[in-house]
Amino acid sequence: MFILGVLSVLWPALSGVWSFNFYAEHPTVYRGPDGSYFGYSVDFYQATTDSNSISVLVGAPKANTSQPGIVEAGAVYYCPWPGLPDSCRQIPFDNSNNRMMKVNGTREPVEFKSHQWFGASVRTHKGKVVACAPLYHWRTVKLSGEKEPVGTCYVAIQNFSAYAEYSPCRTSDPDPEGQGFCQAGFSVDFTKEGRLVVGGPGSFYWQGQVMTAGIAEILNGYSLKAILRRVPGEKHTRAAEDTHDDSYLGYSVAVGEFTGDSEQELIAGVPRGAQSFGYVAMINSTNLTFIQNFTGEQMASYFGYSVAVTDLNGDGMDDVLVGAPLYMEREMESKPREVGRVYLYLQTAPLTFSQPVALTGTYTFGRFGTAIAPLGDVNQDGYNDVAVGCPFGGEERGGRVLIFNGNKDVSTQGLTLSQELRAARTPSGSLPGFGFTLHSLQPPSSFLTSTFHRFPPCTPPLPIPMFSHIAFLLFSGKLISQMKGV
């Protein structure tokens, strides 16, 4: 069943603060096939930098495709903006069946694309697009042949006229102790130069791994037949001691500048590292060695589930935001409440950060911090702003997106909550999961978020959360609403 988003805005009670707000009365709404998890990932797409036409890409990791013999390969949809709810169409990243090989005289599939979750991640950078299938399996190099979830990604350039596959963990290093369970593409991002960053949280007994590669190198010399091809110039983190097993390095990735030069560093969430306190690693992008960590404060809070980078206090230095959506608030003489928390680390000098500024969720089991999206400067006061998703927040647990404004004195005054958005109830009930995924475009200040229809009883986040998205909402930030709080 489809549900269209009908939205309302909860205006915050802020005394004497003027603020611009997202205009949320009539968001653009897109929808995909029922059960396809349409909206699991989202991004904006601009074919060229001087192009005025901006469109929207939406991942639907359980969508069926026209690939022969493949069930639920997953897809990424191209949606024109502005556009009608049903105007999205699948992008043909891969039209083919499983590749085959001859083993002992019989033809066997080399890979397994059914249920591979293509579209679980999608990211764009100046006309380049990457989308990944973290549950793509392939038959290992072993004679016995085993199915292992190495994951794979596809890149597209030149307005979807050229495609290539990039599967950095499909190597001759199989099994759990190698890259066999990598799930490459669980998270993806780009550096400012357009170099691809891929997280694979299952490598090396789930220590996890981060890889980078250039898009030009992925495309040059690409061949369907070269299954074990190594992309020239690819870089990756390596296996550590076994005390790092089950850490999930690469569950989330982001990029920023933290050393005072122009070579960006990588930021990667490790939500089960540090004895399950979770940490976030800063990684040198030149050699992929570890520089320093930010460590969580509470065991099993899933610190590092999400990461983001932006400058929130206007000093020109990138700051780091880390989500811990299972953080529990413990008050004296009351039961702990699982509300979720976001930590902001302000860069005070190269490789030096403030004590974290904490933003704490208010809704029990709301999973505040599941998604974090830098917004640019929404209210035009000179300081960047940020959106935080709280997908099961609200009295009806339908989900909330909270907008926080940066300022000069964030370290002492924190961030200011300026707006709380929600999906309104519909005749068939609320739209749960509003704010599960977030991505912004600046300018014009707009952001994408999604809702989904069914979700299981509260379970800890698994490497792939089992959610079913059915609708998808786009807030156009015309900033027409200037209001004075009461």
Binding site for Ca ion (CB under 5 A): 259, 261, 263, 311, 313, 315, 317, 319, 377, 379, 381, 383, 385, 405
d(CA 458, CA 373): 24
Least distance between Ca ion and beta carbon 19 (Å) = 9
d(CA 63, CA 321): 32
> Least Å distance between CB 28 and Ca ion?
23
Closest CB to Ca ion among residues 242, 263? 263
Does residue 463 have a cis bond before it (omega within 30 degrees)?
Answer: no
State the minimum distance, in angstroms, from the CB of residue 379 to Ca ion: 4
State in angstroms the smallest separation of the CB of 406 from Ca ion: 6
Between 165 and 257, whose beta carbon lies closer to Ca ion? 257
- Rounded to an integer, what distance in angstroms lies between the CA atom of residue 230 and that of residue 127? 24
Give the nearer residue to Ca ion in terms of CB position, either 94 or 311. 311
Give me the least distance between CB of 482 and Ca ion, in Å please: 13
Rounded to whole angstroms, the Cα distance separating 262 from 256 reads: 10
* Residue 23 beta carbon to Ca ion: minimum distance, rounded to whole angstroms: 16
Distance CA 39, CA 33 (A): 11
Cβ distance to Ca ion smaller for residue 221 or 260: 260
The CA-CA-CA angle for residues 39, 200, 214, to 5°, reads 90
Q: How far apart are CA 315 and CA 194, in angstroms?
A: 25
Q: What is the amino acid identity at position 68?
A: P
Q: Which of 92, 46, 141, 154 is nearest to 444 (CA)?
A: 46
CB of 382 to Ca ion, least distance (A): 7
Question: Smallest distance from the beta carbon of 384 to Ca ion, in angstroms?
Answer: 6
Distance of closest approach, residue 14 Cβ to Ca ion, in angstroms: 14
**Nearest residue to Ca ion on Cβ basis:** 259
Measured in whole angstroms, the distance separating CA 380 from the mean position of its chain's CA atoms is 26
Decide if 368 contacts 360 (C-beta within 8 A).
Answer: yes
Q: Which is nearer to Ca ion, 406 or 435 (CB)?
A: 406
Measured from the CB atom, the residue of 20 and 45 that comes closer to Ca ion is 20
Comparing CB distances to Ca ion, the nearer of 70 and 317 is: 317
